[in-house]
Structure 1
């Protein structure tokens, strides 16, 4: 190779390098740089559909919160009517014990009309005090809020 060939080869390499550099400089993809910058500044990228779902959920939760606050305010402002509460406690419920009913059936029925709160507690009370075998069939009137002892006295006469 002579000198002239080497010169033209090196000039070609130089021109190709300059073209590649200029292409990369002017036509570089700018979106790759913007994403890390947004994350560094504390932003989170979310799809538009998910953003709409989040906004709907926030709106529904705010509405529910407002309703609950309103309910709380109404309950604070409402006067407590003890006469109505006492009348509720004095309601009389009819309950029939039929021949062959087990203690569990009786407890389930009494819990169903809200005379007792805990079926197992009532059953244990009846068994521990020996009332389970002395239960008499018949119709009984119960008031809300009476004790297990009072119930046992009524149904074992």
Structure 2
């Protein structure tokens, strides 16, 4: 059995060497696209990209844009922080009590007096049209002057 395996191995080795020699010696077909070298200048590349709708900037311009972006982001953060501070200062919280026998108009008038809503009549109309008027609960509710009509209605009808 051993001589058979040795003969088979020698046959494979000989075939591999022969195929390798043929592969190396044969000429490869000329492929013009792989051998043709295209010279592309920076200006040509820039024109090509601009024609395709890209914005082309050099390294210094890019760094300037990044710096401007960071400055604008920091300004936006400062503005947001100052707005948050002013909103917190202008928000007034109230404990509002709905007592037995109060009508929707009484509730709306009291909310208007506390500056929680701007217009008692429009609030009453909203409560009626949206179906909240029948669900107003008795009790104490924490409200503040930055709530919408819908948010107030949700709180009062829980």
Normalising by the smaller structure, the TM-score range is 0.3 to 0.5
- TM superposition score normalised by structure 1: 0.46
Instruction: Give the structure-2-normalised TM-score.
Output: 0.46
